Amino acid sequence: METITDETELSAAGFSWRESGAVRALSCEPLRRDGFTNAFSTRAGGVSPMPSAALNLAGFNDDAAENIHENRRRFLSLLGGRFALAACWQVHGREVRVVREATDARSLAGSEEEHCDALATNVPRALVGVKTADCVPVLLGDARTGACAAVHAGWRGTLAGIARRAVARLSAEYGTRAADVRAAIGPAARGCCYEVGREVIDAFHEQFPRAGEWFTETREGHALVDLQRANLEQLVAAGVPRGRVHTLPLCTMCRTDLFFSYRREKKLHGRTGRLLSVIGKKD
């Protein structure tokens, strides 16, 4: 279990709190200074009974639609201005979908039926977002072109190289240079808590030469995996400078006071909420 992260450690990592009433979110300050509205939500300040006053932002099977829509309204109000939120139906894959028009963003906001695990855009005031509850959210921004992306990277997506594919898609669509990308890796189940089995361990070792650095053995055939670090290394291998990748030092499994955790809460309660991680270009 990790120790409680204080404001100094958050600031050193490049993150700060945003608050409006009881709603709280974390923002990557270097991305903000580059002109990108961005936020990683927490569970505080909503209306969902998980167990109470929870800001659940997805998972219509586990919560009432009116709760989720009200929670999203509160979350978007925290960011200020009028944004169209584009989200998707996540499938733990490697596909990157491009949002090319404001109408496209509004359509995705209404349906979320596009099957993919990353969204990219350069449309001003279109927020691209991914939903997590232990998986790794990665936000990418390129101040030179104004392009950005939101990536959902569980162990399957990380294994499939989705963060690297998102950088490549930004390059293909908008002329982004990897050296210009700034990335924020958000709250996730970290290497202190996220245990996986032999199948996952072997798959990573087959795919990545340095995978051994991401695992800590716990018992026969099992190990803790640091997916935040795995995605950081993947971005660096894609050409993103290490100093432009900012990792939030908070674990969703340790800090269920702040975040939803599928692994911790689904077992106990049969359901859990979802966080949203979003990024968009200001006007």
- For the stretch 193-246, pLDDT in tens is 999 999 999 999 999 999 999 999 999 999 999 999 999 999 999 999 999 999
Q: Measuring CA to CA, which residue among 81, 121, 80 is closest to residue 103?
A: 121
What is the pLDDT at residue 108?
A: 62
pLDDT at 112: 75
Long-range CB contacts (< 8 A, 24+ apart) of 63-69? 63/271, 63/273
Is the pLDDT confidence value at 282 over 90? no
pLDDT, one tens digit per residue, over 238-272 is 999 999 999 999 999 999 999 999 999 987 777 89
Q: How far is residue 36's CA from residue 10's CA, in Å, rounded to a whole number?
A: 19
* Sign (positive or negative) of CA dihedral 38, 41, 45, 47: positive
> Amino acid identity of 20?
S
> Which among 98, 204, 197, 191 has a CA at the least distance from the CA of 158?
204
Is residue 104 pLDDT above 70, yes or no?
A: no
Q: What is the CATH number of domain 11-281?
A: 3.60.140.10
Q: Which of 207, 202, 201, 205 is nearest to 224 (CA)?
A: 201
How many CA atoms lie within 13 Å of 22's alpha carbon, on the beta-carbon side? 11
Residue 114's pLDDT band (boundaries 50, 70, 90)?
confident
pLDDT of res. 266: 80
User: What pLDDT, on the 0 to 100 scale, is given for residue 106?
Assistant: 63
Query: pLDDT grade, residue 41 (50/70/90)?
Result: very high
The overall average pLDDT reported for the chain is 94
Q: Is the pLDDT of residue 150 over 60?
A: yes
DSSP state of 185: E
Q: What is the pLDDT of residue 268?
A: 78
Query: CB under 8 Å to 6, separation ≥6 — which residues?
Result: none
Cα gap 228→222, rounded to integer Å:
18
Phi and psi for 115 in degrees, rounded to 5? -90, 110
CB 248 within 8 A of CB 42: no
Q: Which residues sit opposite 24 in a β-bridge?
A: 19
Contact 83, 102 (CB under 8 A): no
How does pLDDT run across 184-198, given as a tens digit for each residue? 999 999 999 999 999
* E strand intervals along the chain: 15-20, 23-28, 36-41, 44-48, 54, 84-86, 96-99, 118-121, 126-132, 136-142, 147-153, 181-185, 195-197, 215-219, 222-225, 245-247, 275-281
| Beta-bridge partner residues of 54 | 44
Q: How confident is the model at residue 107 (pLDDT cuts 50, 70, 90)?
A: low
Domain coordinates in residue numbering, the chain: 11-281
Percent of all residues in the chain with a pLDDT value above 90, rounded to a whole number: 86
